[in-house]
Amino acid sequence: MTKRPVIGIPCTHSRDDWGSTASGNSNSYLKAIEQAGGVPLLLPLSESQAMLDQLYSLIDGLLLAGGVDINPDQYGHAHHPELGETSPLQDHSEVYLTRKAFQDGKPVLGICRGHQMLNVALGGTLYQDIPSEIPGALDHNFSANAKDGSLLAHDIQIAEESWLAEVLEQTIIKTNTMHHQAVRDVAPGLKVVGTSSDGVVEVIQSEGDHFAVGIQSHPEELWNTSEPRWQRLFAAYVAQVAKAE
């Protein structure tokens, strides 16, 4: 039996029914990776470098998932009045893991906050609040406000020469949208390969040999519901990780 590649997914923190802090992540990510042929492994957050190093040694690829806003302290900007909840421990853990994976050549896939984290960890910045910082922008919280992750909101225009266009075999695809922050200044080593009609960055990828791709939307909510073509993203990512082992 062929060994499945292990995809590490950092946890988020939430409150359980007893009021205690719980660690976990959405089953949608786990199912998307499993059906694509990978083994999803949730990674606890930690301040300890030794702990993060040992967790990192267990994985073949890194999937940065959604979550709360990234603290602008990470990229040296003042806090915007519309900045939402942040998680310093998640920021710390993900910045460390992302930089390590990128340097080592372990494939990285970022989704929503993870797309933004990929950019921030490698030296980029964010718009902290799209409605107040990008005049004329679409409603990028459309699917979230409708409380329906499968709700398709707008098209993404994808560069023809990009990895995602090759995987999807097309340069336009519909997607959901559940975010109020967005990539601003693109990090060195990354490039924009997809946008929405208002110019908001929807897809980034590495310019070099180290595989790293960020998707602003939530394809993990679409591949088995309203847009099955997004399944190709996860299948191609897991295949990329297997090839890099």
Please report the DSSP string for the chain in residue order: -PPPPEEEEE-EEEE-TTS-EEEE--HHHHHHHHHTT-EEEEE---S-HHHHHHHHTT-SEEEE---SBPPGGGGT-PPPTT---B-HHHHHHHHHHHHHHHHHT--EEEETHHHHHHHHHTT--EES-HHHHSTT---TTHHHHTT-TT---EEEEE-TTSHHHHHHTSSEEEE----S-EE-SPPTTEEEEEE-TT--EEEEEESSSS-EEEESS-GGGTTTTT-GGGHHHHHHHHHHHHHH-
208: which 2 tokens? 């070099």
Pair 119, 98: CB distance under 8 Å: no
Separation between Cα atoms, residue 37 and residue 1, nearest integer Å:
12
Neighbours of 85 (CB within 10 A): 8
Positions marked active-site: 112, 218, 220
